Structure formats: structure tokens, C-alpha cells
Structure 1
Amino acid sequence: MNEQERKEQYSDEIDLYELLLVLKKRFKIIVAISFIGFLIGGLVAFLSPNIYQARAVLWVDSLIDPSLIERFKTIDNRTSFIIPLGQTKSPEVNNLSLSILNSLEFKKKVLDRLIKHYGEKEDMLSLTKSINKGKGDVVFKAEVDKKTGSINLISEQKDKKVAEDILRYAIDEFEKELEKTSQTYAEAISIQKEKVKNNKNFILSVIEKPISLESPVKPKRKLIIAVAGISALFSAIFLAFIAEWWSNVKKRRAE
């Protein structure tokens, strides 16, 4: 290997010592940018409002007897709606429950009751705008616990009381919807429709009443500050190398 090839090889290699010199030379820039990022992260973390979470746990059972379903099939072969089979908890019951709870129409009913109670305050108007945009989860969300099969209702709001009231109204409205659905199922299955009034094919059990956590779940201030500080540090180091590269370019042009 001749001398020229050695020079080209060494010029292509990254010199760790030179990198450290660049960091030392641009140390003030790195510290300044990191501090600004850390400061911005702190302001965002501490100026963001506290968000509290309220939770409730529900269990829905079906009492529709298989013999009634068989009778329905012999009368009408249509199965255009969900029929929960048997007297034990089935996935169909939870599917039906989630379809009701997570529908925008249902959440609008809950929000209407909330507005009647609290009036058209800023928070209520904000929730209304979100619902109109199709963002129903900002009011509350319903999900199935994969381990127990129960239905969890979760609402995250600035006010603990509002979060709890949302879930209370949701449970009340949900019970009404289940009664309507029970009547619909009973009328579809029964031959003598006059005998199915007040028929209750679904039973709603509130395993855990709406209750909010004492501590806010958002914002996670320590995490925000840590992420902001680390991001600012890496950005500062990157900008330091850019500044050094640009300085070298200008020197070469001057020569």
C-alpha cells in the first residue's frame, strides 16, 4: 500500500479524538440547546392540566333460552341480528354490549345528560366538538377485559366528578338500551307478542361502581421532562457537528 492510499484510508476513517474536540469546542452550544429543551419540556409538563381517570366494571348476562332460539328459527330463518346462545356468558353478549357502548349515538345521549347537569361549560363544549368529529373515546371508552370477560368503562377528564358522572350516566343509558334490545329479541322470538312485555333477556350487573383515581394519570411530567431533555441533547450534538462542518466549509472557501 503506497503513501497516497494510506492517506485516503485515514481520511475516510472517523477520528474519535477529533469528534471529542468538536464536542469540546461546541460545548456551550450543546449546553444552551439542551437547557432550552429541558426548560420547554418542564413548562409543557407543569402547564398541562391534570387528567383524572374514572373506571367502572360491568357484567352482562343473557337469559335467552336455546329452545326459544330454535322456535324462532322454525318461524323465520333470518338471523340478521346477534343472538347470544345459551345462559352462560358468550362473546356475542360482549360484542353486542360494545356495539352499544362505543356507538357515537349512545355517547351523544350520555353527553346530553351531562350538559343538562353541568350546563354548556367550556369542557362540555369541547366534548361536544370531539363527538361531532367522531372522537367518541374522549367522553369514555368501553373495552372487554380479556382475562375476566367483564366490560371496563374508562373516562379521562380534567374533573374527577365529571369523569365519574359520565360513567354513571353511561350505565343508566346502557341499562335502558339493554331493555329495548331484550324487548326486540323477545318480540322476534315469541309467537305471542302480547306476552313479552317487560321481558328481560339481558341482566346488567355493576361489579365496580364508577370511581376515580386519586392521582392524575396525565400528564406524566417526569417522562415528558426526561424525553424533552434527551431529545434536546441529541439535537444539540447534531447541530454542533453541523456547525463545525459549515465552519470548515467556509474556511476552505476562504483559502
Structure 2
Amino acid sequence: MEEKKPVKKDQEIVYYQEDEIDLYELWLILKKRWKVVVSTPLIFVITAVVYIFIAKPVYTSSFFVKIPKNISGYIKYNEKGVLRISPVYLFSQEETISLIKRFNYKSKDFSFIIASESKEKENKETIKIEIGVYKPSIIPDISKSLISYLNSNPYVKRKIETERAKLQIFIKESKDKLHEMEKTKELIYKDLKNGKIQNLGFNPLDLDTKILNIKKEIAELEIRLKNLKGFEISVYPAIPEKPSKPKKKLILAVSVVSGLFLGVFLAFFFEWIENASRRHKEKQL
């Protein structure tokens, strides 16, 4: 930008500032300070390359866990990926450290563990667990260990045991009821055959229908009891072939752009410092 130029008007000096930017003058400044413009992004790129070589590659994988129906309403998440199964928090920073020790892994094997709600409509009853590790070969073992950890939660165990006891009571009551119905049916048919009962007042075939319904109810309850297993993996994690971090291309691109912007800024800043210093010396003379 050109400096203010004095103009005499009625014995007075009037200063004005030109608004136009002389692009050629800017080019001359950049040409003059080319070392700064070139060396700054070069330093950034070298730093980025060193970081890429030093940084440990992180392998990311995710899997889905089926939530037991009796505790699905107690699952909560926060913005940091911390899973909360009331009243216990899981996968917080402290819990992750505890998990590492529990699984007999070293801290250098883990990068992060994040739990979140599945975004897929058909998987609303599932938890998405994303894990970052430095050794991809341990991903299958970690997923199994995490399921074991979830099912060992005292709150989860209590809810599962309560539901199991409830189902067992229902099955026992239904079987007792079935036994009584079958016994009653046997006596009625026996009395009908011997002519002891002339008029029942109801169709004896209705007993067969009720007995079948009770058997169906028992079968459904036994299936529910059999499937009561707590948390289960619904989609197993894949072992990634390439690391997700560090993002080499992105880091290099950002370093080049950032270094170039800073280099241009420094070039103009040094030029301004030099001009200001020169004007200051001229005034002193």
C-alpha cells in the first residue's frame, strides 16, 4: 500500500491515503522476502514429516452389541462417548485405565474406547463400540473382553438375575396349571366314559384348546429364558489393514497451507518492521 503523499492546498499540507493496493509492489515484497516465504512452509512440512514418522499408527474398528431388553431403558451416553448403565458409568477415562489392567493389556496397546448409540434405524437396540488400538491383532480379544466386562457389571447382573427368576416362576406356575388342567381333563373324560357325568355344561374340547395355549405359553417363556444372556455381539469387528491415524495426506496438506500463509504474513510483517525502522531513523536525522 502506498504511503501518504503531501499535497499543498492554500498554504496547508493535506495528506491523503490511496485505497488501491499495488499488486506489483506486493509481488516485489514477496520476491524480496522469498527466503521467508519458502522456508516457513518447508519447516512446517519437515515438522509434519517428523511427526508422521514418530506418531504410532492407530487402528480403529467398531462392533455392535445387542442390549438386553430389560435394561435398554437404562442406557445413557454423553458427548465424550462415555456409556452409562444406571447407576454405573463405563468407558470413562478412569474406567478405560481399569479396563486395560483388567484385560492384562498394556497402556501402549490402547488408544481409546468410545460407546455410542447406533444411528441405524434397525439397530436402535444396540450399542456401537469403537475401539482404537496400536496392535490390530488384539481387536477380536478386546471385543470379547468388553462383552464380558459389560455383563459383569453389578447392575446388569442384578437385572438379568431378576428377570431370570421371574421367568422361572412364570414357567413353574404355568406347568403347575398345565398339570392341573391335564389332570382335570383325565378325570372328566373318565367320568364321561363311565356315565357318571351326563351334562358338563361346556364343551370338553375347550379343555384341549386351553391346554395347548398353556403349552405354547410355556414354550415361549422357556425360549425367553434361554435367550436371556445379557449383552451379546450382533456385528463382530473387522480387523483393519491400514491405520486410521495419523492421516498423513491431511497432515501434510495442512502443514503446507498453514506454512505458506504464515510465510506470506511474516514477509509482509518483516517488510513493515524494516520500513518503520527506516522512517524512524529518517525523522531522527
The normalised TM-score by structure 1 is 0.66
Residues 37, 232 of structure 1: 8 Å contact kept: yes
**1:24 corresponds to 2:31:** yes
Q: How much has 1:166 moved relative to structure 2?
A: 2.5
Structure-2 change in CA distance of 1:109 and 1:180 (3 Å): farther
Counterpart of 2:179 in structure 1 is none
Q: 2:17 aligns with which of 9, 26, 29?
A: 9
**1:182 corresponds to 2:160:** yes
User: Hey, what's the Cα distance between the residues in 2 that align with 1:6 and 1:202?
Assistant: 89
User: Hey, what's the Cα distance between the residues in 2 that align with 1:99 and 1:141?
Assistant: 12
User: Hey, what's the Cα distance between the residues in 2 that align with 1:212 and 1:61?
Assistant: 26
Letter in 1 for 2:90: N
Letter in 2 for 1:232: G
User: Hey, what's the Cα distance between the residues in 2 that align with 1:215 and 1:186?
Assistant: 44
Structure-2 change in CA distance of 1:98 and 1:28 (3 Å): closer
User: Hey, what's the Cα distance between the residues in 2 that align with 1:30 and 1:106?
Assistant: 48
Q: How much has 1:201 moved relative to structure 2?
A: 5.8
User: Hey, what's the Cα distance between the residues in 1 that align with 2:108 and 2:136?
Assistant: 13
Structure-2 change in CA distance of 1:106 and 1:25 (3 Å): closer
The normalised TM-score by structure 2 is 0.60
Q: Where does the alignment leave 5 or more consecutive residues of structure 2 unmatched?
A: 1-5, 173-224
SS at match of 2:160: helix
Structure-2 change in CA distance of 1:166 and 1:203 (3 Å): closer
Deviations 1:72-113 (A, max 9, x none): xxxxxxxxxxxx6xxxxx6x1543993137354764553233
**1:211 corresponds to 2:228:** no
Q: How much has 1:230 moved relative to structure 2?
A: 0.8
SS at match of 1:225: helix
**1:234 corresponds to 2:261:** yes
SS at match of 1:217: coil
Structure-2 change in CA distance of 1:139 and 1:223 (3 Å): closer
Residues 147, 231 of structure 2: 8 Å contact kept: no
Asked which structure has the greater RCO (Cα within 8 Å, sep 6+), the reply is 1
SS at match of 2:236: strand
Residues 91, 115 of structure 2: 8 Å contact kept: no
Letter in 1 for 2:76: N
Q: How much has 1:247 moved relative to structure 2?
A: 1.0
Residues 52, 163 of structure 1: 8 Å contact kept: no
User: Hey, what's the Cα distance between the residues in 1 that align with 2:139 and 2:164?
Assistant: 35
Counterpart of 1:225 in structure 2 is 252
Counterpart of 1:79 in structure 2 is none
Structure-2 change in CA distance of 1:235 and 1:183 (3 Å): same
User: Hey, what's the Cα distance between the residues in 2 that align with 1:19 and 1:157?
Assistant: 49
User: Hey, what's the Cα distance between the residues in 2 that align with 1:38 and 1:59?
Assistant: 45
User: Hey, what's the Cα distance between the residues in 2 that align with 1:27 and 1:109?
Assistant: 54
Cα-Cα RMSD:
3.3
Q: How much has 1:169 moved relative to structure 2?
A: 0.7
Q: 2:40 aligns with which of 22, 26, 33?
A: 33
**1:158 corresponds to 2:134:** yes
SS at match of 1:140: strand
Letter in 2 for 1:179: K
Matched length:
204
Residues 54, 213 of structure 1: 8 Å contact kept: yes
Q: 1:98 aligns with which of 83, 101, 109?
A: 83
Q: How much has 1:214 moved relative to structure 2?
A: 1.3
**1:143 corresponds to 2:116:** yes
SS at match of 2:76: helix
**1:172 corresponds to 2:148:** yes
Q: Which moved more, 1:169-178 or 1:18-27?
A: 169-178
SS at match of 1:210: coil
Structure-2 change in CA distance of 1:14 and 1:51 (3 Å): same
User: Hey, what's the Cα distance between the residues in 1 that align with 2:273 and 2:112?
Assistant: 51
User: Hey, what's the Cα distance between the residues in 1 that align with 2:51 and 2:237?
Assistant: 30
Residues 102, 141 of structure 1: 8 Å contact kept: no
Letter in 1 for 2:278: K
Letter in 2 for 1:102: L
